[in-house]
Amino acid sequence: MTAPGPAASDVLAALRREEHSRLLATLASRFGDLDLAEDAAQDALEAAIEAWPRTGVPDSPLAWLTTTATRKAIDRLRREKALTERLARLRVEEDRRTSAPPVRAVVEPDEIPDDRLELFFACCHPTLRTDEQVALILRYLGGLTTTEIAHAFLLPVTTVQQRLVRAKKRLRVTRIPIRTPGPDDLPARLPAVLAVIYLIFTEGYAASTGDGHLRGDLTTEAIRLARIVHRLVPGQPEATGLLALLL
């Protein structure tokens, strides 16, 4: 831990801006529940706001938030007696993750070699409409606010809010599993993922909020994801076209 100091607020602000979507992606992948992931992430940020000014900023702030959010999520599940069986499964999975190597040494041919992109494909379940898939990913995994998504879709903010509520309700009611699709499912889910990447880049290239016109964090991330998709499905002209467009 570093010495306590005023840098805690700056680090938290940067994490909210740059890493919040990655934290949500990790939690959603682990627990399969976007609502729970969002609540746990907020709980962890509140804990950091309280603790870091006293104890100092951790050496790995995102790892600290991820660990804290995971504990917060498990605490929430413990309070819901109807999910006792689910909690038991999560404990087993958590023990397995703790004992496993932190970094994959080999990427299997059918695996998506990026946790964030993996969640993009996982959230493109055919039960959801394409516009719901795209809005859901942009909001919870892509790092865009509801206002920025509304700007991208040229829609009122209230319309996007309603779309997000419907999508989350559909996930909850139908118990859609948030898991990596098989290789045969990737082509059907590809258009929505490409749309997400394009809209992330668009917001970075012509920011709809803030003082600056460009957001390099978004454009860089969109190009990175487009490169991975291009390698993942090299025979898809849409993936090649998107990467060429962004470059």
Q: What is the pLDDT of residues 55-88, one digit of tens each?
A: 888 888 888 999 998 988 888 777 765 445 555 5
In this structure, is residue 191 part of a structural domain? Answer: yes
Which residue from 213, 78, 220 is spatially nearest to 143, judged by alpha carbons? 220
What domain count does the chain have? 2
Q: How many CB atoms lie within 10 A of CB 216?
A: 10
Full-model pTM? 0.64
**Where among 70, 99, 128 does a domain terminate?**
99
Q: In this structure, what token pair is assigned to residue 188? A: 């059907």
In this structure, is residue 1 part of a structural domain? Answer: no
Same domain, 73 and 166: no
In this structure, is residue 61 part of a structural domain? Answer: yes
| Cα angle: 208, vertex 214, 220; to 5 degrees | 115
The pLDDT assigned to 98 comes to 52
The pLDDT assigned to 113 comes to 65
**Where among 99, 126, 155 does a domain terminate?**
99
In this structure, is residue 106 part of a structural domain? Answer: no
Residues 227/243, Cβ–Cβ less than 8 Å = yes
Distance (Å, whole) CA 247 – CA 241: 10
Same domain, 91 and 155: no
Q: What is the pLDDT of residues 141-177, one digit of tens each?
A: 787 888 988 988 888 999 999 988 888 888 777 776 6
Band (1; pLDDT cuts 50, 70, 90): very low
| Cα angle: 88, vertex 183, 185; to 5 degrees | 85
In this structure, is residue 186 part of a structural domain? Answer: yes
Q: In this structure, what token pair is assigned to residue 102? A: 């932190």
Same domain, 80 and 141: no
**Where among 99, 128, 154 does a domain terminate?**
99
Same domain, 220 and 127: yes
Domain that holds residue 77: 7-99
In this structure, is residue 240 part of a structural domain? Answer: yes
Same domain, 82 and 127: no
